[in-house]
Amino acid sequence: MSKPFIIYTAQVEKLKNEKNLVITDDDFAVESLQNISYYALIGGYKHPFIDIHTRKYINEACFEDIVALYEFDEELRGIFFKYLCRVERKMRSSIV
């Protein structure tokens, strides 16, 4: 079942009103959702911030925290990939 597209401002309002996520800068939230996408950002990084029973955000969780976690993960993946490529080259060289 595909989900219909909801405009970015409506996504921000849904996060604030239905999910109790603190969003202090709507423009930043809209820009982040445009660049990353709702499902990649919220779907992938909400788990440390959400109550699994109510499916609402807890402890004054804010949108900026989720974006920061996404950016940290993106940077960490880049570092791992860099060194994984070096290990792969070394192993290929050793095998040859």
Which positions ≥6 away from 49 have C-beta within 8 Å? Answer: 21, 57, 58, 59, 61, 65, 66
Distance in angstroms (rounded) separating the CA atoms of residues 19 and 62: 11
pLDDT band for position 11 (cuts 50, 70, 90): very high
What count of Cα atoms within 13 Å lies in the side-chain half-sphere of residue 29? 22
Is a pLDDT exceeding 70 seen at residue 30? yes
Q: What is the average pLDDT score of the chain?
A: 92
pLDDT in tens, 33-74: 999 999 999 988 998 898 889 888 888 899 999 999 999 999
At 1, the pLDDT band (50, 70, 90 cuts) reads low
